Structure 1
Amino acid sequence: EGFSLELTTKLVGECNISNLLAAVAVALHLGMKPENIKYAVAQIEQVEHRLNMKRTAGGVTIIDDAFNSNPTGSRMAVDVISQFTGGKRIIVTPGMIELGDKQFDLNRQLGEHIGKNVDIAIVVGEYNRKALTEGILSTGFDESKLIEADTFQDAQRHLATILTAGDVVLYENDLPDTFK
């Protein structure tokens, strides 16, 4: 039987939505009532620091993906910010760690994806700076929109000077400033 079910969720990202839709399909197959599914989906809370979206009083959208540090998840987070329109899309990231001999290449690839999908990139720390900036700039990204910050606090100072209502900021990974 064909029918539609309108759902509301606090989750963002294609990865979360595809998992949610699979769960809904299973629930329907098991005979759950659509109104119970609708209620349950609306109750699902965002996971702290995992594509956790908040809006500030100043009208800026913050996407907190601070606990993510893997190639697939980082790419998906950049895909999420790429869907926003109307304001500046800004990423703040130190890149990814613990990737062995693929460390440089995977961070460079992340940089390329960032360069194609955001308006301003703030690269934090030195550890992955070269790989990320190479990747970002290889896409023709405006070098004046690439900010290198030594610390997270430094990145926050830069943000304070450029944010306006309608902007969206993605915090992608949050390596401590002491990580070398």
Structure 2
Amino acid sequence: MKKRIVVLGGGESGAGAAVLAKVKGMDVFLTDMGKIAPKYKQLLAQYDIEWEEGHPHTESRVLAADEIIKSPGVPGNVPILVKAQQKSIPVISEIEFAGRYTDAKMVCITGSNGKTTTTLLTYHILQKAGLNVGLAGNVGKSLALQVATESHDVYVIELSSFQLDNMYDFKANVAVILNITPDHLDRYDYKMENYVAAKFRIMQNQTSDDAFIYWHDDPVVTAQLKHVTSEARMLPFSALDEEDCAACLDESGLMKFNVGGRHWEMPRAQLSLKGLHNVYNSMAAGISATFLNVNDEVIRRALADFEAVEHRLEYVRTVGGVTYINDSKATNVNATWYALESMTTPVVLILGGKDKGNDYSEIEDFVKEKVKAIVCLGVDNSKLHKFFDGKVPNITDARSMPEAVAKCHAYAQKGDTVLLSPCCASFDLFKNMEDRGCQFKDCVRKLDD
């Protein structure tokens, strides 16, 4: 009798998992309470996979499953999953499922901030080295779909805490934690320790043949490591010149690497990506590639010619001497801290959106020092006003991106920077973070010189 698989969620992750299950000869049913995008319907039809959309999950079908594959956007406490757990039906992630059917090396990257850049940077290095490498997780194509339809020797995978939640036997050959700051606490009972524990699932099942790469200066990461036992090789990185680090930065701005006795160096000034946060991202990617025996000259070239990630400190254009920067990916306070840290001119800052329990005190000093005006872009800006009123010369509200950009244009003078770095999720006024960033860029491009 065929194994019965039910997939919850019909996006990139769910559709990919459904295809892999079908290719492996299983009985597959996919269900999504929202609308499934046409491209995923076509994919499901191509593989003759049954699906439903736009209404509550058909309980009898879901609870008849031998195993449920849950998409990362589906919270673990929805009623249908509670009932499934009561029936002892295993609930796993797409990544867990895909890992069963490939022997490829897995380079897995997580962190509250910087994981997309680091994932793409690592992928870029491995491509330059001529490796047969796939890109998966939060970026690229679904890992399950690639395992079903392609063949790679290495996968570089960006993992959110949501994806890590339902991973049990999966193993990362290289696991990276860049940093951990409060984020998504609404999915973790507003308990930071639950969120931290989810992130640390990335190093479960690692052996002495594997590597764990982490930011040595992150107090949350280093505190949690005291409660973790692992056979993996510990490869920390730091902006300080630390002897025991696999990568560090000396006072002259030289990045120094030492991975298993392999020493090499690269001046920070040669990195294509600017800002201290990108030094960390480059160190993590450089350590990963060195551990995988990539030549250091290849790594240097790749770190020097990598092109920036869309929506992460992305230069849009200069209008009337004012620079416009799109940092829509900054959906938490720490990401905006890094954006402000890299600013060297007076800033007109766009903040706001769906607040996830933010503590704005982390950016208060930078705001007082660098920000001349704040435009609050959201349905409810009361929390922003409560914290920032009186701390900047100008603060105002906008209910749409055209209004926000127009107000920024009025505040900004030659030599200033207009920075969209919202601190918040986008779902109050926009479809998603990408929609917010693209609307910003469209509005900026329409400004008169």
In structure 2, what is the equivalent of residue 175 of structure 1?
426
* 1:32 paired to 2:281: no
The DSSP-based 3-state class of the residue aligned with 1:112 is helix
Deviation of residue 168 (structure 1)? Answer: 0.9
The superposition leaves residues 83-140 of structure 1 with CA deviations (integer Å, 9 ceiling, x where unpaired) of: x13xx2111122443x2xx3xxx1544673563241211111332x111122113xx5
Deviation of residue 59 (structure 1)? Answer: 3.1
Larger Rg computed on CA atoms: 2
The DSSP-based 3-state class of the residue aligned with 2:266 is coil
In structure 2, what is the equivalent of residue 134 of structure 1?
386
Select which of 42, 47, 52 maps to 2:304.
Answer: 42
Residues 111 and 133 in structure 1, CA contact (< 8 A), matched pair in contact too: no
Distance 1:9-1:60 versus aligned 2 partners, 3 A rule: farther
TM-score by length of 1: 0.71
In structure 2, what is the equivalent of residue 72 of structure 1?
334
Distance 1:111-1:28 versus aligned 2 partners, 3 A rule: closer
The superposition leaves residues 12-52 of structure 1 with CA deviations (integer Å, 9 ceiling, x where unpaired) of: 33222212023335556746243x33321122111100122
Select which of 246, 266, 279 maps to 1:5.
Answer: 266
Give 1:57-136 correspondences, 5 Å limit.
58-81=320-343, 84-85=344-345, 88-97=346-355, 99=356, 102=357, 106=358, 108-109=360-361, 112=364, 115-116=367-368, 117-127=370-380, 129-136=381-388
Measured on the aligned residues, the alpha-carbon RMSD in Å equals 3.1
Matched to 2:426, the amino acid is: L
In structure 1, what is the equivalent of residue 189 of structure 2?
none
The DSSP-based 3-state class of the residue aligned with 1:91 is strand
The DSSP-based 3-state class of the residue aligned with 1:63 is strand
Task: Give distance in 2, aligned partners of 1:69 and 1:130.
Answer: 18
Task: Give distance in 2, aligned partners of 1:175 and 1:52.
Answer: 17
Per chain length, whose mean CA-contact separation is higher, i.e. which structure has more relative contact order (CA < 8 Å, sep 6+)? 1
TM-score by length of 2: 0.32
In structure 2, what is the equivalent of residue 163 of structure 1?
412
Task: Give distance in 2, aligned partners of 1:79 and 1:33.
Answer: 29
* 1:18 paired to 2:276: no
- Identity across the alignment (%): 26
Task: Give distance in 1, aligned partners of 2:403 and 2:428.
Answer: 10
Residues 337 and 363 in structure 2, CA contact (< 8 A), matched pair in contact too: no
Task: Give distance in 1, aligned partners of 2:294 and 2:367.
Answer: 46
Structure with the larger helix share: 1
Task: Give distance in 2, aligned partners of 1:56 and 1:108.
Answer: 29
Q: How many residues align?
A: 164
